[in-house]
Structure 1
Amino acid sequence: MSVTREPSTRDDVRAAVVAAAARLLREAGAEAVTTRAVAQAAGVQAPTLYRLFGDKDGLVDAVAEHVMAAYVAGEAGAADGTGDPVADLRTAWDAHVDFGLANPELFALLSAPGRRDPSPAAVAGIEVLRGRVHRLAAAGLLRVDEERAVTMIHAAGTGTVLALLEVPVDRRDAGLSAAVLDALLGALLRAAPAVADAGPRALAIAFATAVPDLPGLSDAERALMAEWLDRAVRALREA
């Protein structure tokens, strides 16, 4: 009779479980990632999974961290990019879509309705996106405020991946991703940086990016100015 032998340390257990879950996800799909199957594949008792991860969402988050670690680290490391904020956003978009298509089961799990919270790995990716959008705003290229731009890009990127995953590989529209991004950028970006006659909204969005670095102001004054600009941008958006 075989006896289940758990790895000797908590870190060993966690690594074994995450690796087993990632392997099951890759080889057999999302439906195969059950606590019972993962525990058996990792050689641990099922209660161990709950002690380590809390529930299945916690386990999926850990798998996402494992699979996405190199991807997010690479994106963050390239945050300064080429010096062209539009080109860098295109590169990030392509990487996001490519990752989703290469890891369909994981992407579907992370995007599934009903998750209690976003995956930490997904949150890290959003922060990278937020930095890229900030560079667009600092260059005076955004038509909308930064938060709206981040939300629109994230929603469009996720939707593009899910739409492509619904179609067999040999029938996918190879130009869909680029077409969606082009349409999105047409709505988000100005053809040229904001100038004095560009209107108050474009100027407020661009000026807001400089507030943290303005000299001669206290932190409280910078915070108040940022609040004023944010209120102005929102009012102009709703006008």
Structure 2
Amino acid sequence: MQVTPVTPARLVDEVVELVDARPGRVRLALDGPPPTHPLALAERVADALRARGRLPVVVNADDFLRPASVRLEFGREDPDEFLDGWLDAGGLRREVLDPAGPAGSGRVLPRLWDAVADRAHRDRYVELPGDGVVLLAGALLLGRGLPLDVAVHLRMTPAALTRTLPEEDHWTLPAYARYAEERAPESEADLVVLSDHPTRPALRH
């Protein structure tokens, strides 16, 4: 195993290069727990893609959660349900990933569900051109069979995650442990980024 330290700017370039290596529309997942800031990375990559003349659509996985009556059926702090039942994978496929695929319509819905208000977002569809890019950002995304073209996994060791995750969210730690063991996100990723210190990332080859 080789580890190469990179700057945050170089990390953006590495992800953009992965996207550019794919023809047509690209469905990119940026997968990592909250302390790795996958959404912020998605926004930076989107800016770089936009500067190259490509239309990016950033999708926050937290805008595709299932209704509270479903995802909180077993309580607000059930780690197994957090891993297996919070994300509306079917909604993501239907509204974003399938339409963004090579045979899809290109008509994607960036946000589906407002988890805070517990109601549907009133969002507009976006027409993704033939070289458009969907950037799906969030945690626990891999190993679900989602149709993705490129996957980046922002890896944190259990110790670093425990140290950086807010104490009120420590109930999710068993979910991240199960995710690493059962879904093997590193084996699915095209790029693994060591992110114990997100401002000092390193690439694992």
> TM tier, shorter chain?
under 0.3
TM-score, reference length from structure 1: 0.23
Larger Cα-atom Rg: 1
Give 1 or 2: higher strand fraction. 2
TM-score, reference length from structure 2: 0.26
Which protein, 1 or 2, shows the higher relative CO under an 8 Å CA cutoff with sep ≥ 6?
2
